[in-house]
Amino acid sequence: MALACLFIPSFELAVNLSQYTDLIEDIMSPIALCDPETEKIVDATFSAQQFGVLPDQTYTQAFTTYPQLRIIEINKVLTQEISEKFTLIAQEISPVVEKLSSGFLLIDLKGMDTYFGGVELVADKIFSLSEAWISKITENKANQSTGPLLQAHLGIADKRLTAQLAAFYGEPGVLNYIEQTAAVKFLSALPIELLPLPPDAIERLRLLQITKIGQFTALSRSIVESQFGSIGGQAWLAGKNRDTEYLRSNIFEDEKIFDEIQLLSPISDLKVLKIFTQNLLAQLLQEMKIKNSLLVRVKIVFETDTGKLYFFEKLLKVPTNSLTQIWLAISHHIDRIRYSEPISLLRIEFLEFINQTGYQLSLFAMSRQRQQQLIDTAEHLRTRYGYPALFQIREVSRWHRLPEKQFALADYLT
């Protein structure tokens, strides 16, 4: 037992459906979750997918496919809030958690057996936390029908890809434990599309009638790497349950520096909004300067009264705690935001920062400084000894037929 994967197939759809009590009685009818900003389908119920409504379709494509389709808009604030609470389930089990997407988590279980017990006891603990999380969402009797949609799949295996596929193919609320001795057999029967390979590589394999992972891993690693490079080699190892990709924790809630302003009245004037943003940014930078840190990545979030979310992240080219430099980097992103409703809440998060250890001087500044030092040294030597003591090679005649006549040794100060 090394890794666990906690997975809810239609996380965003289930979370948002729980807020529509008028759809609960008919929850399995063709319903699609859409993003009004991109005007695309985010997810759809199984019955909608049977009619051909698929994620990433536009409104026009979806309604052309099934005119009676019912549409609900995604509430990004609610989805993010519930997703963070779902992440806490994994953090109750292990401090090392990697979030792949909303409702899709990898948990490092190394050493957890000494604390919780065997695999079954760990699974019982995860499912009990999951049930408590579901009960908080479905407190209202009207939305208890969304409970089954929120039931988690749990897969446990010793390697990363195996754990993910164990959760994907497992039953909701039931542990799917793949032992190391059975992992290769489990993987070999699965479709080749599940391997971490680019689409063009998958297409080439299908042309060769290689449709299963077992057929792919039957080839030698050297042949695979000669055709698909290092990516193919990594996929071959994953298919053999021998991948070396370790879990990378990307949950750093305790290290974030953030603050928010709840505006007394919603603001629609962009100039006023930028003033509030700059003032809040200045306050957070004061806290960062006290910690003697430099900002690397910042996130700006604007929220409306109806829960619509407008945000962007900016990775700074040079770590800094200068308000002027940061504002120059993010101000044009704010200008590009096109919000349809007044903003009622402003939030700034410093997602990544480093300790300040010193400044890297510009190469051009170092060159100018060194040149000035040489000039000062040459003047000092000439004054002290009465004649030039420092020389440099100067080009005299580039096209002279004799090479020794093309250059000459001259006083450095001339």
Q: Report the CATH number that the domain containing residue 156 is assigned in CATH.
A: 3.40.1170.60
Phi and psi angles of residue 364, each rounded to the nearest 5 degrees, phi first: -70, -40
Tokens 């604390």 sit at which residue? Answer: 115
Which of 135, 156, 177 marks a domain boundary? Answer: 177
pLDDT for residue 310 is more than 90: no
Task: Give the helix ranges, DSSP H, for 154-212.
Answer: 160-168, 180-188, 199-207
pLDDT for residue 406 is more than 90: no
Tell me if 248 is assigned to some domain: no
Which of 141, 158, 177 marks a domain boundary? Answer: 177
For the chain, what is the mean pLDDT?
A: 84
Tokens 């029967």 sit at which residue? Answer: 189
Count of Cβ atoms closer than 10 Å to residue 133 Cβ: 17
State whether 127 and 228 are in the same domain: no
Which of 312, 338, 355 marks a domain boundary? Answer: 355
State whether 97 and 84 are in the same domain: yes
| Model pLDDT, residue 294 | 85
User: In the structure, what pLDDT confidence band is assigned to residue 360 with cuts at 50, 70 and 90?
Assistant: low
Tell me if 205 is assigned to some domain: yes
210-224 pLDDT per residue, tens:
999 999 999 999 999
State whether 331 and 400 are in the same domain: no
State whether 136 and 279 are in the same domain: no
Phi and psi angles of residue 171, each rounded to the nearest 5 degrees, phi first: -90, 145
Count of Cβ atoms closer than 10 Å to residue 325 Cβ: 14
CB 89 within 8 A of CB 133: yes
CB 12 within 8 A of CB 102: yes
What is the rounded average pLDDT of the residues 23-50? 80
Tell me if 164 is assigned to some domain: yes
| Model pLDDT, residue 48 | 87
| Model pLDDT, residue 407 | 81
Tell me if 244 is assigned to some domain: no
What is the rounded average pLDDT of the residues 168-195? 91
Expressed in angstroms, the distance from the first to the final Cα of the chain is: 76
State whether 77 and 125 are in the same domain: yes
pLDDT for residue 367 is more than 50: yes
State whether 76 and 224 are in the same domain: no
| Model pLDDT, residue 141 | 47
| Model pLDDT, residue 395 | 81
Output 357 or 353, whichever has higher pLDDT. Answer: 353
- What is the number of structural domains in the chain? 4
pTM of the model: 0.61
Helix (H) or strand (E) holding 119: helix 119-137
Residue 316: which CATH number?
Answer: 3.30.1490.100
92-137 pLDDT per residue, tens:
888 788 888 888 899 888 877 777 778 888 888 888 888 888 887 7
State whether 257 and 231 are in the same domain: no
State the residue range of the domain holding 145.
3-177
State whether 142 and 276 are in the same domain: no
Write down how long the chain is. 414
Tell me if 333 is assigned to some domain: yes
As a whole number of angstroms, the distance between CA 146 and CA 197 comes to: 35
Tell me if 247 is assigned to some domain: no
| Model pLDDT, residue 358 | 52
State whether 231 and 269 are in the same domain: no
